[in-house]
Structure 1
Amino acid sequence: MDAVLAEAGERRIGWASRAMPVLTAIGAGFGGDRPLDGLKVAACLHVTAETAVLLGALKAGGAEIALAASNPLSTQDDVAAALADYGIAVHARAGVDRDTYYRHIHRALDIGPDIVLDDGCDLVNILHTERSDLVVKGGCEETTTGIIRLRQMAAEGALKFPMVAVNDTRTKRMFDNRYGTGQSTLDGIMRATNTLIAGRTVVVAGFGFCGRGVAERARGMGARVIVTEIDPVKALDASLHGYGVATMAEAAEIGDVFVTVTGNRDVIRAEHLAVMKDGAILANAGHFDVEIDVRALESMAEEVHYQVRPNTDEFVVNGRRLLLLAEGRLVNLAAAEGHPAAVMDMSFSAQALAVAWLAAEHASLKPGVYDVPDGIDARVAGLKLAAAGITIDGLTAEQEAYLHSWRSGS
């Protein structure tokens, strides 16, 4: 492994850890308690500095770890080199093709994991389809797309072991999905295009927590925001927040920047691409590269100019230039650095504590999708407040009694 690259990765990890006091404290506690002694962990995660801090905490707790990338365009090679120096088996390299991506996941699974960490459910899917010989005690899923797939597996009776929905904690949804995705997505778009957001029409497909964050950040930078949705309640919510609400067919003709944040496929299709403005920017902040129909875009284009800027490809369709960012993959990780470390501090702290909980409780859990125990979420939020020097009120004895009695009237 390149020693210079590893040294650069170590510096990057050190910088991230400064903004991750909660996870750092948990890692220190794990070093004393060793809750993961003797356990093997296979992870399919974005290979970033923030992930490195998480894996460091798990290793301090006694885990043996193998890591594959959950997106080849998000892999930071210097971080991968530093992790390898730290004794973690890393199977990841920036920019690999699809076949190599899946081969790396198989190599991570060769460790024979007791616990798995996934980001998008690709690793768990392979465990159920191609590596069913492996016996896994449980795992954690980090993102919305993965939870959708896991819940479908559970509904069909296909899921073979317990999985914890780390994505569904309040701290993850409210802060990681909303503030992290919102900021990092706009960061990726601006790095890739150097476009001015103010005064532009930004179309956000999906108004879940991630879409809400993108819409908020875009409006905060002066954009006119239009939301597209299939859920009437979310569409109404977007309208009452003051955003325009339209179908994608309507928005396609007037949008300047399009951001998909749905977890579904073919959100932007050929009929939408056919009517977009010259210079329209296409970005995906959902997990997989299926939300924008890239194959349709390629087939429609009379010319393609790759890398007109880093992470920006230009497709000429009927004389109009459509700009696809990061090959339709996660723009915030492929064209920028992903969520700020301060946000990932909470998400990965919940992940680390959930792994320790699984290690202790897996024998009593049936196959299925489990929420993170409330106590973990509250502990993470409390530690984050304490690290920021913020104190909050607590209930008095009288208030506690009032909340637990139906006999008290007005």
Structure 2
Amino acid sequence: MAAQDNSRVAWIRSRMALLADVRQELERTRPFAGHRIGMSLHVEPKTAVLVETLAAGGAELIGTGNFGSTQDDVVDYLNSLPGITIHGRRDDTLAQHEANIAAVLDGAPDIILDNGADLVAGLVARGTTGTVIGGTEETTSGGDRLRTELAGAVPFPVIVINDSLLKAIGENKHAVGQSAVESFMRITNAMVPGRRFVVFGYGWCGRGVAHYLRALGGKVAVVDTDELKAFEAALDGFRVGSATDFAHWGDVFITATGRPGVLPYEIIEQMHAGAIIGNVGHFPWEIDVETLRARATSTTSLGSAVDRIDLPHGGHVILLANGRMFNLAGSEPKGNSIESMDLGFLLQTLSLVRVVTDRSALSAGPQPVPDDIDRTIARRILAVLDSSS
């Protein structure tokens, strides 16, 4: 499997020009020499290129994938490289995933590369935050946790990659939008044109999903409790209302908020027979899958990421990827485009370099990507786009 994935990584590495450039810099300067990076991140081929880049800068790395999205051949490939240890498999239970998080923390990393704030939460629970000099957080969900659940408890700087406007535009809007629609079509083989879609959330990811669905001919409605985002969605030409308003109308319901409980069972039971529900938010908590399965009269697997769930009133719904991110945890997962992750992972890399080389200029706790990093990367991207035009 390691040999198989080496070829996949080679193709993706060849398309990640931004990381290729910075890798040469890191091989020369080795800013991570003597440091161990603890990583919790979706483990797929693009992630392997990020790990290779950090290792080129001198880092040891101990990590795990996120629950339900790990690609086993990528784990095997990374574990074949010196100085890298990756825990986790695709079919891990939640308990096993939590044990993987604990194993990463047992490895005593002094730099954190987090996705959903699981590692930082573990450090806080253990009372071992003092062993870490700083880190990054990838997601909206993780940034929310740092500013609410973990507020005031993190004594080291955490650069929230998702706060970057560059990432919001390039990765969240365009890459998540593209990959969500592409994955929906691949998993279901269903037609987009003319179908009625309800998108929960009009943040950057929700915007992208809504726009890409409409671009392919879908009829799209948006649900967002934030009046300003709902206003923006309305002016962008989408139908806007509450979940109740669209429960009978929608054919497909996609959550993209990063918040728990946005699609409760009470809404699901109002949907017409055969409605499809799926999530592209980081945590599998946006759809009330627990209640849905508890109330089901029967469940039938229709494929590796498709379940038919029969309901007490005689109807049924189709659940994608058990409520996990179906663009990463679904069948034949591809995730966000190579180019978008090249951008996002360059943000990660340069932010981690900043933590190591100039952390005195950073404050404790969550904070945005420094403006000069955003602008440096924007210039590099424009140069790449100009050279290929």
TM-score range, shorter chain: over 0.9
Residues 35 and 61 of structure 1 are in contact (CA less than 8 Å); yes or no, is this contact kept in structure 2? yes
Equivalent in the alignment of 2:306:
312
Equivalent in the alignment of 2:62:
66
Distance 2:296 2:237 in 1: 36
Distance 1:153 1:354 in 2: 23
Distance 2:95 2:255 in 1: 25
Deviates more, 1:141-150 or 1:371-380: 371-380
Q: CA deviation at 1:58?
A: 0.6
Q: CA deviation at 1:274?
A: 1.3
Equivalent in the alignment of 1:344:
341
Cα deviations across residues 78-112 of structure 1 (Å, max 9, x unaligned)?
A: 11111111121010211100111011111112221
> Normalising to structure 1: TM-score of the pair?
0.91
Equivalent in the alignment of 1:197:
192
Secondary structure of 1:160's counterpart equals coil
Residue identity in the other structure for 1:35: P
Secondary structure of 2:154's counterpart equals coil
Cα deviations across residues 217-241 of structure 1 (Å, max 9, x unaligned)?
A: 1001111000001000000000000
Does 1:321 find its partner at 2:327? no
Deviates more, 1:214-223 or 1:366-375: 366-375
Equivalent in the alignment of 1:80:
75
Equivalent in the alignment of 2:296:
301
Does 1:362 find its partner at 2:359? yes
Distance 1:344 1:188 in 2: 17
Residue identity in the other structure for 2:70: T
Q: CA deviation at 1:131?
A: 5.3
Equivalent in the alignment of 2:181:
186
Equivalent in the alignment of 1:405:
none
Cα deviations across residues 54-84 of structure 1 (Å, max 9, x unaligned)?
A: 111110000110011122x211111111111
Residues 280 and 321 of structure 1 are in contact (CA less than 8 Å); yes or no, is this contact kept in structure 2? yes
Q: CA deviation at 1:387?
A: 2.0
Distance 2:129 2:149 in 1: 18
| Match 2:218 to one of 202, 217, 223 | 223
Distance 1:131 1:290 in 2: 27
Extract unaligned runs of 5+ from structure 1: 393-410
Matches within 5 A, 1:243-282: 243-282=238-277
Does 1:353 find its partner at 2:350? yes
Residues 12 and 79 of structure 1 are in contact (CA less than 8 Å); yes or no, is this contact kept in structure 2? no
Bigger radius of gyration:
1
Residues 129 and 154 of structure 2 are in contact (CA less than 8 Å); yes or no, is this contact kept in structure 1? no
Residues 105 and 122 of structure 2 are in contact (CA less than 8 Å); yes or no, is this contact kept in structure 1? no
Cα deviations across residues 204-229 of structure 1 (Å, max 9, x unaligned)?
A: 00000000000001001111000001
Residues 129 and 155 of structure 2 are in contact (CA less than 8 Å); yes or no, is this contact kept in structure 1? no
Residues 9 and 80 of structure 1 are in contact (CA less than 8 Å); yes or no, is this contact kept in structure 2? no
Distance 1:294 1:254 in 2: 21
Distance 1:288 1:382 in 2: 33
> Normalising to structure 2: TM-score of the pair?
0.96
Distance 1:257 1:209 in 2: 20
Equivalent in the alignment of 1:20:
16
Cα deviations across residues 263-305 of structure 1 (Å, max 9, x unaligned)?
A: 1111111211111011111000111111000011112211111
| Match 1:126 to one of 106, 110, 122 | 122
Deviates more, 1:356-365 or 1:189-198: 356-365
**133 and 391 in structure 1: CA distance in 2 versus 1, 3 angstrom threshold:** closer
Q: CA deviation at 1:319?
A: 2.2
Distance 1:310 1:111 in 2: 34
Q: CA deviation at 1:35?
A: 1.1
Distance 1:200 1:390 in 2: 39
Residue identity in the other structure for 2:16: M
Residues 161 and 366 of structure 1 are in contact (CA less than 8 Å); yes or no, is this contact kept in structure 2? yes
Deviates more, 1:345-354 or 1:182-191: 182-191
Residue identity in the other structure for 2:314: G
| Match 2:100 to one of 98, 104, 109 | 104
Residues 138 and 161 of structure 1 are in contact (CA less than 8 Å); yes or no, is this contact kept in structure 2? yes
**163 and 133 in structure 1: CA distance in 2 versus 1, 3 angstrom threshold:** closer
Secondary structure of 1:389's counterpart equals helix
Distance 2:261 2:132 in 1: 33
Q: CA deviation at 1:115?
A: 0.6
Deviates more, 1:144-153 or 1:277-286: 144-153
Extract unaligned runs of 5+ from structure 2: none
Deviates more, 1:97-106 or 1:379-388: 379-388
Distance 1:201 1:118 in 2: 35
Q: CA deviation at 1:39?
A: 0.8
The number of equivalent residue pairs is 385
Q: CA deviation at 1:321?
A: 2.1
Q: CA RMSD in A?
A: 1.5
Does 1:212 find its partner at 2:223? no
Secondary structure of 1:116's counterpart equals strand
Distance 1:284 1:295 in 2: 14
Residue identity in the other structure for 1:145: S
Residues 37 and 59 of structure 2 are in contact (CA less than 8 Å); yes or no, is this contact kept in structure 1? yes
Residues 13 and 49 of structure 1 are in contact (CA less than 8 Å); yes or no, is this contact kept in structure 2? yes
**213 and 21 in structure 1: CA distance in 2 versus 1, 3 angstrom threshold:** same
Equivalent in the alignment of 2:386:
389
**35 and 145 in structure 1: CA distance in 2 versus 1, 3 angstrom threshold:** same
Distance 1:367 1:152 in 2: 15
Distance 1:10 1:340 in 2: 19
